[in-house]
Amino acid sequence: MPRMTVNEQPVEFDMEPDTPLLWALRDAANLTGTKYGCGVGDCGACMVIIDGEALRSCLITIAEAEGRFITTIEGLSRDRSHPVQQALVAEQAIQCGFCTPGIAMAGAALIAKNADPSREDIEQAIPNLCRCGVYPRLVRAIERAGRVTRRRETISAAPAPGISAEDAAEEVPALRAPDE
């Protein structure tokens, strides 16, 4: 049974080793913020951060994820305060939102390595598909997230989407803090 660390919690999946990580996260860990788009590595909706790299969880088995450190959108911040999350909201780079978790993870991985990315850096690091076409706003949001990370700018906290983190944790056990 493959073991790994998900959002800073040790996890052991009692599933077939060739199960895609995407399905283990969504179906077993109830971390449904990671989305299924294409299942073949094209769209990026399933991106999570594994050992610092934004990777497509539909293409990685839980056997391949053994021993690795995985962060999903639920683990990026508990209060939507990560600069990428704040900037995506502030730049209105979200329409239907289906692609947003994958984009946030790719953007967060980029900003962690390079907080002053060029437009080309952003386009290369975030190849995610968005059926709503938020691409121009997406680039502006990641540039802005970089400025926030470099302390050149602040963004007020992202508005609550109608549910508090605590209320969400009551509904979704996977969102609870380890000591709760």
Sites of contact with ligand FES (CB under 6 A)? 36-39, 41-46, 56, 58, 94-99, 130-132, 134
97 vs 173 by CB, closer to ligand FES: 97
Residue 68, both tokens: 């690795």
Rounded to the nearest whole angstrom, what is the least distance from the CB of residue 26 to ligand FES in the complex?
A: 11
Q: Name the one residue in this structure whose structure tokens are 């049974």.
A: 1
Residue 150, both tokens: 């470099």
What beta strand segments (E) does 104-172 contain? none
Rounded to the nearest whole angstrom, what is the least distance from the CB of residue 82 to ligand FES in the complex?
A: 18
Residue 144, both tokens: 């802005």
Rounded to the nearest whole angstrom, what is the least distance from the CB of residue 39 to ligand FES in the complex?
A: 5
Nearest to 103 by CA among 59, 43, 19, 50: 43
56 vs 80 by CB, closer to ligand FES: 56
129 vs 152 by CB, closer to ligand FES: 129
Q: How far is residue 9 from each of residues 65, 68, 120, measured CA to CA in Å?
A: 14, 11, 35
The SS3 call for residue 17 is coil
56 vs 144 by CB, closer to ligand FES: 56
Rounded to the nearest whole angstrom, what is the least distance from the CB of residue 152 to ligand FES in the complex?
A: 27
